[in-house]
Amino acid sequence: MNEQLKAFAVAGGLNEEEIAKILGFIGRDPTIAEIAAFSAMWNEHVSYKSSRKYLKTFPTRGPRVLVGPGENAGVVDVGDGWAISFKMESHNHPSYIEPFQGAATGVGGILRDIFTMGARPIANMDSLRFGSLSHPRTRYLVNGVVAGISYYGNCMGVPTIGGELVFDPTYDGNCLINVFTLGVVKADGVFYGKAAGVGNPVIYMGPATGRDGMGGASMASAAFDEKAAEKRPTVQVGDAFCEKVVLECTLELMKSGLVLGIQDMGAAGLTCSTFEMADRAKMGMKVDLSKVPQRAANMTPQEILLSESQERMLLVCERGNEEGVLEICRKWDIPGAVIGEVTDTRQMEMWFNGEKVVDLPINLLTDEAPLYDRPWAEPAGLAERWKVPAFTVGDLKDEFLGLIDDPSFRSKAPVFQKYDHMVQLRTVVRPGDGDAAVMRLLETGTNRGVAMTSDGNSPACWLHPYNGAFNIIAEACLNLACVGARGIALTDCLNFGNPERPDVMWEFKEVVAGLSEACIAFDTPVTGGNVSFYNETAGTSIQPTPVVGVVGLVEDCDRVAGTFFTREDEAIVLLGCEDFSFDASLYARLKTGKVCGFVRKADAKRHSALCELIVRGIEKGIVTAAHDVSEGGLLWAIAESVVGNGVGATLDNVGTEPAELFGEAPSMAFVTVPEADLSCLTLMAEELGVQAVRIGTTGGDTLNVKGAFTVPVADLTAASRKPL
């Protein structure tokens, strides 16, 4: 390989070993366009070359799973002939470089993944993690990311109904922007990204291809350094109004029966869509790159292949139906062009201005992509992390007020109010009102709904990746239960540092193992997801941050619960484990200035029983509010339930030891029930083997911890409304 080709290959992210492998496969020097294709398909972001070995261990099947990993998004049956399609993706690197467009195109990309399956998107959630509020770049990133998400979701008419907002120094150099999207599709109307049928035309649909987003996938597979800002041209530029039209055009094409297979052009652009569609069908493809609509002058074949211009689709139809497809495109004023055809050669052949520039076996870029078994090693000093340094507890009221002064307690309303969360008129539980969001499944003709939650816990996964990951899914299932839903499946977004570091690979391996066990324990198979490596700047990696998006079913949307106390004089009942500890708690972190303590794994049997109890209580109409006890401990969670509606509480049956008030433990929640229904709840708890203890009563304008202190609800509300 000459030096020019080699330099191009290295710039595209290929290493010496991979270059040698390519030469060995094809037995000749590749063209520049072929190098472009290899660099796109073999990068970490597309090939999962460091993670595939472990991802195969996920449980992916279940009675409701219609489509699992490998397609654009998973699909799960929800009954009455309908299904939901959902997926979680990251756009971390682009959002750090250019927050508005990075976040906007992250939303646009995952929306395309959903409607490519034939589903109409009905909900977005975002899981956002930024550096500390004191970091000079944090507010700039927050403002840009929130504006980008708002712009794209609002223009598309898809509500953003919840998510997470976390500030932590581990993300000072790498913000995490994970988006979780769900759509509704007929169970027998799912589309697949396959290029089937010899001689069938391959059609490009969408805006013309430009030079924006060049090398975006490769950029996502590299760590940052002080020159990160120079990568701005790799960030895609989105047009949400255009994608709205593309969405409607795509769904009409599907309804028309003219489309056989379809794939969006996301990471790696046209390269990925052509190779993956042909590979899924075990077919080949001939493509004339000269026929690809281009908006930039004098584009080269490699630029056309690597461009990640947004809002573009690739589809295959029956031969003879080309004009019907193009006519619908013209109706929606969407450019369309026949650029190739399907073959049975299992070869990708591409021409440009009459010259063949790509001639490669498709499996070389898919099945034969590198698969690394990277070395892993437990990080040094892990046991030291589990020790909680001694600290002095002060006045309990002062300690409580200091705890809720943390930004985590503050209302996220200034963020989610920028999103339209009521468009489509499906939203039952709105952002901030419950532990999960609930949307009506209007298509089913029933009162059934789907619940969604996104959850992560990087401190717990840094302390104990296996147990921490297990508990994330446990908490997500409990969050669903607290609105009245039973979890049925999940997607994930696994955010980690540099996989070439043995400690990072150990974290990844342990997290995947913990997630896998939890998926089996809670019957929530994985239907797809995303791995984001190289979240590292100047040699410093983020803490391991797996995020899960879990979906559940609500049988009756008129029987749901929220977080906030709604009525006076109702019993507050603590459910589940009461083994409080400062281990891995926010309180200990604030007192000692470090993440510390041992993470205990939730007991799956007890946890499942707790979830079932809460759901049954909500379905019977006796549970009026429900909230899990997690970050910040019991008193923190009670305070969160108080501030929503201004209904106070008196806690007259809780301990006054700091660990009981501020400590944390898995598998705990509290509910409110009318006095007349307390015995019914108690009986159900006994039947399920769940510990249930009445700890207080709702009402008044204070939070009164008897024997300890009293805080006016107005003061708690003010603390929650402090600006972020």
**Active site amino acids:** 45, 91
Contact 265, 308 (CB under 8 A): yes
Q: Rg of the chain's alpha carbons, rounded to an integer?
A: 26
- As beta bridge partners, residue 449 has 440, 554
What whole-number distance in Å separates Cα of residue 190 and Cα of residue 87?
15
Angle, helices 16-26 vs 32-41, to 10°: value is 120
Q: Which residues, in sequence order, are CB contacts of 282 under 8 Å at separation 6+?
A: 346
Q: CA-CA distance, 577 to 563, in Å (whole number)?
A: 20
* SS3 state of residue 153: helix
Cβ contacts of residue 31 below 8 Å, gap of 6+?
Answer: 357, 358
Task: Please give the sequence-ordered ranges of beta strands (E in DSSP) within 506-562, or none if there are none.
Answer: 526-532, 536-537, 540-541, 545-554
Tell me which residue of 511, 634, 652 sits closest to 582, measured CA to CA.
634
Q: Are 536 and 224 in contact (CB under 8 A)?
A: yes
Alpha helices in 264-394 (DSSP H): 269-280, 301-306, 322-331, 362-365, 382-385
Question: What residues are paired with 571 via a beta bridge?
Answer: 673, 697
For the chain, the first-to-last Cα distance in angstroms comes to: 54
CA angle 585, 590, 593 (to 5 degrees): 110
Q: Which residues pair with 453 in a beta bridge?
A: 550
Residue 414, class by beta-carbon neighbours within 10 Å (0-12 exposed, 13-18 middle, 19+ buried)?
Answer: middle
Distance CA 513, CA 59 (A): 11
Q: Is 482 exposed, middle or buried (0-12, 13-18, 19+ CB in 10 A)?
A: buried
Coil, helix or strand at residue 308: coil
Cα-Cα-Cα-Cα torsion 580, 584, 585, 586, nearest 10 degrees, comes to: 180
**Cβ contacts of 632 within 8 Å, gap of 6 or more:** 403, 404, 406, 408, 409, 585, 586, 587, 662, 664
The runs of H, that is alpha helices, within 482-621 are 502-521, 586-592, 604-619
For the chain, how many residues are written?
724
Residue whose structure tokens are 């379905």: 619
Question: Between the CA of residue 208 and those of 122, 204, 249, 606, what are the distances in Å?
Answer: 27, 9, 16, 55
What are the CA-CA distances from residue 374 to residues 44, 288, 380, 507 (Å)? 13, 39, 18, 12
Give Dmax over CA atoms of the chain in angstroms.
86
- Could you tell me which of 641, 172, 721 has the C-alpha nearest to residue 417? 721
Q: Which residues does 371 contact at the CB level (< 8 Å), separation at least 6?
A: 49, 52, 53
Cα dihedral: 548, 554, 559, 561 (round 10): 0
